[in-house]
Structures are given as structure tokens and as C-alpha cells.
Structure 1
Amino acid sequence: MSHTAHIPSHRKPRQRASKSALRAGVAGGVLSTIAVAGAAGPAQADPVTQTIEMPTITSGFSTAVAASAQATQQVALDLETQADEDAAAEKAAKTAKKAHAEAVRKAEAKKKAEAAAKAKAEAEAKERAERASRTSERTTLSASSGSSDSGSSASAPSSSSSNVSGSAASIVAFAKAQVGDAYVSGGTGPNAWDCSGLVQAAYRTAGIDLPRVSQSQSTFGTQVSLDNLQPGDILYWGSAGSAYHVAIYVGGGQFVGAQNSSTGTVQRSMDYDRPTGAVRVL
């Protein structure tokens, strides 16, 4: 065997050397490029400026926008004007309603005042007529009583005119003159009475001041029998000192008293409502 049999062919090593040289050359070029770039320092990037072009508003579009704004403003003004008109109308309606109510109230007040004035005038006229009638009746009764005192014929003891004094005649005349007047609890005249108010007023014409209430009047004086009454005596119903009603005996078995709200002041027979007892003050 040749001593060169184990030696590789010389051609293959050359090919490999060529490839290695090529590779080394490329790598060297790359390294050179990096080295140059590193020596030059970092690159400064230029700022990028981008311009955006906005659409151009045409004159027609501007006019439409202005017109729309003007229309909106006009609508707002119209609404405000309508609101003011509505408020004014509502206020006027309220004022008119108030004025009408006031006019109605004044008319009713005037009507009531006229009715009250008419009623007052009628009442005053009636009162004047009643007073005139009472005055005439008192005059006639006084004259009759005076004639009886001078010696007229006598009647039963309980109503004997010979026992009627001037004071008794005055009391009886006053009591009879009030017949027909109204009964009012607590009334003391001149046209409305309660029972004790009438008796007190009748005795006042004779200058005698009686207590105000029937309980006290039933014990003011001397107790007398119902069979021995004289005109002017005070009749009472109930117990003496706790009487609930009083009247004036006017002779002839009759009395005058302010009875109740239904009958008013009346002249009645003692048989109509028999009293419990009587007192004599004169």
C-alpha cells in the first residue's frame, strides 16, 4: 500500500478553506458595519408631522344653521309670550271672580240691611201703637179704680173694689197693660217678660222695689189665704221660698202673669192654673 493511501485528497481541503474564507469575510463585513454604526452614535429620528385637512363648511350650510338657530329662538320667544298671556288671563279671571263674589256679598248685605230696617220700623210702629193702647187702658182703669174707691158698690171680698188702694190700682193697671207681650226667660220689659220680671216692674210703678226672682218674691210680704185675696197680691206656684212661678192677682178671680214662651203674658182665671199660695205686700 502506498504511504499516501490514508491521506485525504487535497482538493477537498481547498474547498473547505474557500468556504471558511467566505464565511469569515461575511462575518467581518458585518462586524465592520456594526463597528461603524457604533462609532457614529445613535441615529436621530426626524419628527413626523401629519397635517389633517378639515372639511370646508360651505356658505349654504352656515346659512341653514343660522336659520335653524333663529327659528329655535323664535319658538322660545313664542312659548314665553304664550306663557305670559296665559298667566295674565288666569290673573284676570281670578280678579273678575273675586270682584263678582264681592258684588254679590255687598248686594246680599244691602238686602239684609234693608230687610232689618223695614222690620225695625214695623216693630217700632207696633210698639208705639201698643204703648198708646196701654196708656189709654191705664187711664181708663185708674179712673175706674178712683170711682170705686169713692164708694161704688162692693163685690165679693176677694175682688172688692173698696179694698183697692191707689198703689194696688197702679200695679193692676200696669200688669193688665202688658197682656199680649212675649215671654222671654230673664226678660224685664218693656215688651218681653219673665214671670218675676213682670211682677217686679208692676210693683215698681207703686214705688215698691221687689226682689228679682220668684223664690224671693214668694216670701216678700205677708202670707194670705187664696180665699181672702185682694187686687195687687202676689200669687205663687210651688212652696214659699222655692216658688217656680209668680203672677199678680187683678180681682174677679183672675190673675195676670208672663206664663211661658207659647202663651206669653196673659190674663187668666185662677181655675186655669190654681196657685199654691199668695203674699200681700201693700
Structure 2
Amino acid sequence: MSHTAHIRSHRKPRRSASSAAMRAGVASGVLSTLAVAGASGSAQAAEPVTQTLELPTLTADLAAQVAQSADATQQAAASYELQAERDAAAAKAAKEAKADLKEAKKKAAEAKKKAEEEARKAAAERASRDAERTTLTASADTGSSTAAESSASTGSSTATGSAAAVVSFVRAAVGAAYVSGATGPSAYDCSGLVQAAYKQVGVSLPRVSQDQSVAGTQVGLDSLQPGDILYWGGAGSAYHVGIYVGDGMFVGAQNSSTGVVEKPLSYDPPTGAVRVL
């Protein structure tokens, strides 16, 4: 035996070829798996980046813009609708106001026309009465006026019976208004006052001055008694009447300016007189 036979060799034992091939195959498979896994992981990682970072961001912005545009359009439409309603209400109010103004003007014009017509009638009546009185006064002689003024001394001044009631009635009416066609109790015209005075003692007289001037017995102005009917104008065509109340005084509904008054005969000398009682 060699003197070195018992010493272990310092060389590493050789591996068999099959063992090396196996190890090389395993290593190659591991590397292939890692490469595939890496490639697959890289591909999977790359795809979500495109989907989650770009497309969703663009879609959200577009949706927000569309929503804002829709809100703006809706607000504008609501504003236009509100303005249209206000314009319609204003137009309706203006139309109604115009109609009311037109109606008010129409009524005012009618009232003015009526008032002017009444004023013309009253003025014409006063002018006619004043003209007739002026004519009669101018044509009357001095003797007629003297007789009228002196009638108080020659006639009776004390009323009795129904005549006293007539005198009392007309004196109580002094101060009442003169209204053409009125028969009392707050307003009279001349013949309305005479008719009312005699009616309350049971005597029915005609309504107008012309007929009242011939309703009784004609008496002279120098023989007057309280309760006699005085008239101005001709008998049967008189335009004014009153009641003699004694002491040279008479009561009559003269005109719209004076109303019912008590005056002396000299204030407006009558033309004649009739006695009913």
C-alpha cells in the first residue's frame, strides 16, 4: 500500500452529468417562470394605468360640464318664464287701469253734462221770470202799486179758521228750499207751496200757477185778507203765486236763491188775488 493511500484527496468529487443537467433545467425553468411572471405583471400593471388615470378623469370632467350646462339652461328658462309672467301681469293691469280710467271719464262727463243742463234750465227759468216781472212792473201804473201797498190798512189783518191754518202753514215753511216741481215738506216751488197749504185744510187746488190764479173769487189788492192767493201775471196766465199773511206781508217760494221767504208786498207787488176760503 502506498504511504498516501490513507489520506483523503483534497479534490472535490465530480458531479454527474445528469445531476448537472437537472439543476440547469430547474434553474432555467425558474428563470423562465420569473420572466413570464414579470412580463405578465408588467402587462397587467400597464393596462390599469391607462384605464384608471385617463378615461375616468376625462369622463368625470365631461359629465360635470354637461351638468353645469343643464343647470344654466334650466335657470335661464325659469328666468325667462318668470319675466314673461311679470310682463303678462303688467300688461293686464295696464289694460284694466285704462278701462277704469275710460269709464271714470265717461261718468264724469255725463255728470258734468247733467249739471250743466240743470244749471241752464234754472237760469232760463229765472231769466224768464225776471223778464216778465220787469215788464209787468214797468207797465203797471202808480195807482196799482199804491193800492197793493195800502191793502194792509184797508183789508183784514187777522186770520181766522181755515185761513189762519193756511197762514200758519206757509209761515212754518219759511226757510225751505226752492226746487222746481217740489211740493214739500223740505222744498217747494211757488204753486207747490200754495197747493200744500190749502191741502192741509181740506181744499184741493190745481197744481200750476195759471190754474190757481182763477181757482177762487177775484178780489182787489185793496181788500186782501190773510189766506188769499196772490198771483203775478194775468189771471189764467200767471207765472207766480204766493199767500197773503196779513199786515202787508206775503209768503212765497220765490226762487232757488232765496227759497221760501216772507216779504212785504212792496218787495214784489202782485198783479191780482183770488179768495178761496
The TM-score with structure 2 as length reference comes to 0.53
Instruction: State the one-letter code of the partner of 2:224.
Output: L
Residue 206 of structure 1: how far off its partner (Å) = 1.4
Partner of 1:185: 180
Instruction: State the one-letter code of the partner of 1:169.
Output: A
Partner of 1:255: 250
Partner of 1:176: 171
Residue 80 of structure 1: how far off its partner (Å) = 3.2
Residue 209 of structure 1: how far off its partner (Å) = 0.7
More helix by share: 2
Within the alignment, does 1:157 sit opposite 2:127 as a pair? no
Give the alignment of 1:108-147 within 5 angstroms: none
Instruction: State the one-letter code of the partner of 1:242.
Output: S
Give the alignment of 1:225-240 within 5 angstroms: 225-240=220-235
Partner of 2:77: 80
Instruction: Mark the runs of 5 or more structure 1 residues left unpaired by the alignment.
Output: 1-57, 95-154
Q: Which runs of 4+ in 1 moved over 6 A?
A: 87-94
Q: Relative to structure 1, is the Cα distance of residues 160 and 67 closer, same or farther in structure 2, using a 3 angstrom cutoff?
A: closer
Instruction: State the one-letter code of the partner of 1:260.
Output: N
Instruction: Mark the runs of 5 or more structure 2 residues left unpaired by the alignment.
Output: 1-53, 92-151
Within the alignment, does 1:67 sit opposite 2:64 as a pair? yes
Within the alignment, does 1:222 sit opposite 2:229 as a pair? no
Distance in 2 of aligned mates of 1:92 and 1:78: 21
Residue 181 of structure 1: how far off its partner (Å) = 1.2
Distance in 2 of aligned mates of 1:204 and 1:157: 28
Distance in 1 of aligned mates of 2:153 and 2:255: 30
CA-based RMSD: 3.2
Contact 1:158–1:253 (CA<8 Å) still a contact in 2? no
Give the alignment of 1:32-47 within 5 angstroms: none
Contact 1:218–1:241 (CA<8 Å) still a contact in 2? yes
Residue 262 of structure 1: how far off its partner (Å) = 1.0
* Matched positions, count: 166
Contact 1:159–1:253 (CA<8 Å) still a contact in 2? no
SS of residue matched to 1:265: strand
Residue 84 of structure 1: how far off its partner (Å) = 5.6
Q: 1:278 aligns with which of 268, 273, 276?
A: 273
- Identity among equivalent positions (%) equals 57
Greater relative contact order (Cα < 8 A, sep 6+):
2
Q: Which moved more, 1:222-231 or 1:80-89?
A: 80-89
